[in-house]
Every structure is written in structure tokens, then in C-alpha cells.
Amino acid sequence: MEIITYPDRRQWSSIIERPRLDISQLNDTVSKVLNDVRLNGDEAVKAYEQKFDKVSLASLSVTETEINDACELVSDELKSAINLAHDNIYKFHKAQVFEQRKIETVPGVTCWQKSVAIERVGLYIPGGTAPLFSTVLMLAVPAKIAGCNEIVLCTPPDKSGNVHPAILYAARTAGVSKIFKIGGVQAIAAMAYGTESVPKVFKIFGPGNQYVMAAKQQVSIHDTAIDMPAGPSEVCVIADESACPSFIAADLLSQAEHGADSQVLLITTSQNIIDNVQTELEKQLQMLARRDIASKALDNSKLVLVKSIDDAVALSNAYAPEHLIIQTSDSNEVAERIINAGSVFIGKYACESAGDYASGTNHTLPTHGHATAYSGVNLDSFCRKITFQHLTVQGIQNIGTAVELMAEAESLDAHKNAMTIRLSSITE
């Protein structure tokens, strides 16, 4: 990891820079797969499953029998853990339900919003070396609470044509409607365009590799909405002398093991913390099964020594991390000053893993600095807000002249006339 000591603010732009991948060539590949699935449906999807996932599929759908059999393979202990996480995620997102209010802006003009669920949503769940059954809960639970009529899930099968049992158990627990054995770009295409088996969805959620992310961005231009732009996962830790180096190292490594293109950042006011965290990183890294991946991620990462917590907060807000962990003596006060972050973890016991799995907050979060403008997935992600207004005679009398004047000033005569003829009808 690169160590940066007391950087001038003019250096911050280089400190907060993320690793950049050349995706110019993969975009062409992605476009070809998307177009093939759009034109040829299930046939193309099965061909790509054979090519990329090395599996020959007679059917893309996961049957009820397959789900039942898979659920039997999940240990009681893991089922209990998934159920606990489900309940906490449900409680947190249920509390986000929109409360409708009618507002009379002037006498005779009443305005309000109604929250309406997206009718059909698609969830993409990676299944490779790290089958993310936790993401099933993070996406399907709020979709169910929102009232989405159909929740479609795509996830890659193994070479035997089976889906990871924990993914299927989580899907059943969370109320997923339909499950398909499809991975990668072809999964995004199937949900975006629809095939003989897979229904077209109106919004696609979920993480994935650079090909999946490129596919989501391409289909979002014309065909379907997506949750957010996304890049490699990341964490930032703000720490002072009171922090626990072993905790910090564990948090940095938990993020680094996501992928070689992940990034972790420590911002601290203490040289001792940097020294001790380095020692802990070397020690803990050797115990990880995914240490090669984590080690490559650390090459993209930085340890930054700053003069004050004020500088640490400012640098973190400039970085706008996906995950932010605050280990300081006044962590609650520091947290109040955070304006750019996906999810914030306060205090030394609040590890990122808690939010990833079972605290209740959502782990589908903006990356690559997008936390300056985007929220993480929440209940509203699965809803639309429709506005309503009701006007009486008194209402158009109160705002009619203003509408006429504004329409005339914008040279929109038909707009003006729509109000004028109504006002005239009152006096006739």
C-alpha cells in the first residue's frame, strides 16, 4: 500500500482517484451479446451459457422441485442466520414506507404524491467464487415490501446446471417470483429485452463484474432502468490514535478480498496507527483463502496521514466512499459531518461486514465517487412517485393569471389558452 504523509490539498485529486480499467474493447463484446439475445432469445442465452458458464441447459427456469431440494442442503445454522438477516433488513426497509400527504398550496389547489411499486423488477446475483446470497435479501426484501408484482432473479449455474443452494433458500425466504439459471451479460440482456422464458423487467438491480456493469449501462440508455452506475467495491476508514489497528486491518482486507480492482483507503491522524495497521495487514493477509486477490487490491490502496480530523473528514467527503468506517474517540460527532458516503459505520465495533449481512441496512451502494449524487438501494428504489393535483374554481381564480402571464412570457400560446378558456367559462 502507498503511504502518503501530510498531503497538500492540491494532492487530494490523485489520492481519491480510483483504478481505471480500459473497457473500450469489452463494450463491443457486450453489445454483440446484448443484440444476439435481443434477436434470438432463449436460444442465444443457452448458447452463451454453454460458452461462458460451460453448462448445457435444457431449461433456463429453476423449478420448484430444484428449490425444495436445494433448501434441504442448507444447514440449519445458515438458515437461521439468513432468517435473522432477513428480519432485520425487513424491519429497516419497512420503516421507509412513504406516508402520503395532501397539501393545499393555495385555496382550491390541492397537490399530493402517491408511491407506486415498479411492477416487474430484475435482480442479478453473482454466483462464481463468491455466491452472494446476501444480495438476494438486500434486493428482494425491499422489492417485496414495495409491492412489486413480479421479482425476477438471474444467477449463473455451476457446471452441473445447479444454482447455489443458499441463493435459492434466500430467494424463497425473500419472496422472489421467478428464478433463472443465467449469468453474465446474457442475464442482463434477457431481463432487459425479455425472452421466451424470461419476462422483460422495468428495472435491473444487482452487482457484477465489469462485463455485467457495462451491460447494465448499455441497456439503461434505451431499454430499462438500472439501480445505479457501479464500479469496483471500496472502503474508507477514518481513524485516530484511539482506534484498534487489528480491527482496521480486518476491515480493509474484508473489502480488498472482493476483487483485484477493489480499493481501500485509511485516513488517520496517527503514524502509530499506520505502522500497526501495516503489521496487522501482513499478518491477517496470510490467513485469507482469497489472499492473492486481496493483495492485488492493496496495490491500488493508500494509507494517508493527515494533520487533523478536520482534514480526514474533508478528504473522505472528497473521496465519497461506498463504505465509510469511523474509528475515533468522537465517532458520533465525526459521523455528523459526513456528507458523501454510501453507508457509514460508527465506532470500532461497527465493521462493514455487519452492514453487508445482518444489521438491516442495504449493502447495494454507490461506488467510484457516485455517493456524491446517488443513494444506496432503499425502498424508494423499487417505487415511483406519481404526482396529483386537483383544482376547483377557486383554485384557478387564485393561480390562473400567474399561469397565463408565465405561459405568455415563454411564448407558449396554447398553454396560456388552456387556462384562459377556463377562466372565461367562470364569468360567462
Per-residue pLDDT, 19: 75
Cα gap 37→340, rounded to integer Å: 38
Among candidates 179, 170, 163, 171, which has minimal Cα distance to 82? 170
Beta-carbon-side half-sphere exposure of residue 320 (alpha carbons within 13 Å):
18
DSSP 18: P
| Whether CATH 3.40.50.1100 fits 231-375 | no
Cα gap 360→364, rounded to integer Å: 12
Percentage of the chain with pLDDT > 70? 99
Higher per-residue pLDDT: 129 or 146 = 146
Tell me the chain's radius of gyration from C-alpha atoms: 25
pLDDT of residue 21 exceeding 80: no
Mean pLDDT along residues 287-316? 94
Cα gap 207→363, rounded to integer Å: 10
Per-residue pLDDT, 396: 96
Cell numbers for 9, please give them.
Answer: 490539498
Per-residue pLDDT, 18: 86
Cα angle 238, 347, 319 (rounded to 5 degrees) comes to 30
CA 218 → CA 6, 40, 168, 247, distances in Å?
41, 18, 28, 39
Per-residue pLDDT, 427: 76
The pLDDT-based confidence of 160 (bands split at 50, 70, 90) is very high
pLDDT of residue 246 exceeding 70: yes
Per-residue pLDDT, 25: 79
pLDDT of residue 352 exceeding 90: yes
The pLDDT-based confidence of 230 (bands split at 50, 70, 90) is confident
Among candidates 67, 207, 62, 63, which has minimal Cα distance to 123? 207
Mean pLDDT along residues 181-201? 98
Per-residue pLDDT, 428: 62
The pLDDT-based confidence of 399 (bands split at 50, 70, 90) is very high
Q: Looking at the chain, how many residues does it have?
A: 428
The pLDDT-based confidence of 159 (bands split at 50, 70, 90) is very high
Main-chain dihedrals φ then ψ at residue 19, nearest 5 degrees = -60, 135
List residues bridging with 327 in a β-sheet. 239
Cα gap 62→162, rounded to integer Å: 9
pLDDT of residue 66 exceeding 90: yes
Measured distance between the N- and C-terminal CA atoms of the chain, rounded to whole angstroms? 80
pLDDT (tens digit per residue) in 80-91: 999 999 999 999
Query: Which element (helix H / strand E) includes 93?
Result: helix 76-94
The count of other CB atoms within 10 Å of the CB of residue 211 is 19
> 231 near 367, Cβ under 8 Å?
yes
Mean pLDDT along residues 355-376? 96
Cα angle 311, 317, 321 (rounded to 5 degrees) comes to 125
Main-chain dihedrals φ then ψ at residue 347, nearest 5 degrees = 95, 160
Q: Within the chain, which residue ranges are assigned CATH 3.40.50.1980?
A: 24-102+116-226, 231-375
Cα angle 76, 79, 84 (rounded to 5 degrees) comes to 125
Cell numbers for 155, please give them.
Answer: 444467477
pLDDT of residue 249 exceeding 90: yes
Cα gap 249→291, rounded to integer Å: 13
Per-residue pLDDT, 275: 97
Given this structure, which CATH class describes domain 24-102+116-226? alpha beta
pLDDT of residue 215 exceeding 80: yes
Q: Any long-range contacts for 288-291 (C-beta under 8 Å, 24+ apart)?
A: 288/253, 288/257, 290/129, 290/257, 291/257
Per-residue pLDDT, 394: 97
Beta strand ranges found along 167-262 (DSSP E): 178-181, 203-205, 225-226, 234-239
pLDDT, mean over the chain = 95
Which residues participate in catalysis according to the annotation? 322-323
Cα gap 307→304, rounded to integer Å: 10
Sign of the Cα torsion 315, 320, 322, 326 reads: positive
Q: Any long-range contacts for 79-83 (C-beta under 8 Å, 24+ apart)?
A: 79/169, 81/357, 81/358, 82/133, 82/137, 82/166, 82/169, 82/170, 82/173, 83/173
Cα gap 177→171, rounded to integer Å: 8
Percentage of the chain with pLDDT > 90? 92
pLDDT (tens digit per residue) in 255-300: 999 888 899 999 999 999 999 999 999 999 999 999 999 999 999 8
Beta-carbon-side half-sphere exposure of residue 205 (alpha carbons within 13 Å):
27
Mean pLDDT along residues 230-250? 95
Mean pLDDT along residues 314-321? 97
Among candidates 306, 305, 348, which has minimal Cα distance to 326? 348
pLDDT (tens digit per residue) in 93-108: 999 999 999 999 999 9
Per-residue pLDDT, 375: 96
pTM above threshold 0.75: yes
Q: Which of 26-30, 49-53, 128-132, 332-336 has the lowest mean pLDDT?
A: 128-132
Provide the CA 413 distance to its chain's centre, in angstroms: 44
> 231 near 200, Cβ under 8 Å?
no
> 233 near 209, Cβ under 8 Å?
no
List residues bridging with 151 in a β-sheet. 121
DSSP 228: -
pLDDT of residue 234 exceeding 90: yes
